[in-house]
A = this chain, B = another copy of it.
Amino acid sequence: MRESVAPTSPKEVERHNVNLRLDRLGLLEKFRKVRTQTEAICKPLEIEDYVVQSMPDVSPTRWHLAHTSWFFETFVLKAADPAYVSIDAAYDFLFNSYYNLVGKRWSRPERGLLTRPTVKEIYAYRAYVNAALERLLGFVSEEAFLKVAPIIELGLNHEQQHQELILTDIKHVLSINPLHPQYTQSKPVGPVHVMPMGWRNMDEGLYEIGYGEDGFAFDNEQPVHRIYLDDFQIADRLTTCGEYLDFMSQGGYAHPEIWLSDGWNEVQTHGWNAPLYWDQHEDGTWWQTTLCGYRLVKHDEPVTHVSYYEAEAFAAWSGARLPREEEWEVAANKETISGSFLEAEHFHPIAASTNDARLMQLYGEVWQWTASNYLPYPGFKAPEGALGEYNGKFMSNQMVLRGASCVTPRSHARLTYRNFFPPYARWQFSGIRLAR
């Protein structure tokens, strides 16, 4: 999932229309809420923090704020409001992320080289786009509204993805600073001792996966289709830091035979010996950078900021494996969506609280690497035009992650959600759930 949201199928547009006809105000309210939440996330930042790109995968906060506005400007305002005048023609070039069909764009790894427009000017750009969109919702015909509403909804889901990215990116920006600046204060969490991990049995058989409901979903979650699964078991909670420390202390990073060849190459090239953001003090203790400060690694918390390669090697070392994405979805199918999301303001995964019959920690702590490459579902069709670039073109060299993390907005989580990142990526809140 690199900065994206996908358009909706014709059938889905139809369904939406019914709801939207009734609810122009509802959409407006949702728009205000999401746009406001984005800015609320940036409150603790200094101006300097908005500017820096600490590695190519990271975008500066000022860019996120502008790009999410550019999305509404490009796909809604310019498309639906003939009188709309852009605040600055150059913004189209500066804030396009990857849409080839929209035009040329500023090089991604150089987003951190720009100082203008300033942060203040970007907030003004946001306000300008907000006002234009509110105006648009006021005057468009019913027919035009029905066309534009699904794209606005797409834009809001897109902006929620960037809310998560703002936090994962700013975490990286702050983490490289030897002064250990912190994003915010941590909230108190009671002491918890997690129970030993258990296994849930799942039966072989034909299942259906994919999104088939009335609401919003990305194109890559569709269509619903049948798959066959053998018997399997899935872990009832996430892998903890304590379990991962066992892996480390028993030579996890020193034995090539438990690693994929490409993973071992990463280990050696980058000198990986622990998850991202961890470092070991001379007394042997492990510390980690969190958004709420630099502190000791806690054994009961889920391990996070591991790559697919580390997740896969850990699973191999455990005598288990990672679940395929269809296994995850089938296992999670009857569970409710709960967990500590962005709104809980922990900004870090927390320990599983009790050991009940449910599959714990499916959502709201860390995204869970699956053993599945990110490929189109049978029958997948990307929409026409530039919005077709949202998801489909990234379907190579990436792995699917399922669930949701501690910085995902609650309303953004979904059973069928397919997040995706390259197997070497570690700066997202990515963790491990085992299968076998």
Interface residues of A (CB under 8 A from B): 46-52, 54, 62, 88, 90, 93-94, 98, 100-101, 106, 110, 112-119, 173-174, 176-179, 181, 206, 225-228, 230, 256-257, 259-264, 308-309, 312, 371-373, 375-376, 378-379, 388-389, 393-397, 423
Contact = CB atoms under 8 A, between A and B. Distances in A.
A115 B378 contact: no
Given A228-B227, A375-B373, A112 B112 contact: yes
A263 B396 contact: yes
Contacts of A376: 371
The 4 closest A-B pairs by CB, nearest first: A373-B373, A48-B115, A100-B256, A228-B228
Among A46, A54, A260, A388, max chain B CB count under 10 A is at A46
A227 B113 CA distance: 47
Contacts of A116: 46, 48, 174, 177, 179, 181
A184 to B, nearest CB: 15
Contact of A48 (B51, B225, B227): B51
A113 B54 contact: yes
A425 to B, nearest CB: 13
B47 A112 contact: no
B49 A257 contact: no
Contacts of A46: 115-116, 118
Given A115-B181, A312-B396, 11 more contacts: A46-B118, A51-B51, A52-B112, A52-B113, A52-B115, A90-B178, A100-B257, A106-B178, A113-B176, A397-B397, A397-B423
Contact of A93 (B113, B178, B228, B393): B178
Contacts of A47: 47-48, 118-119
Nearest to A93: B178
A358 B173 CA distance: 55
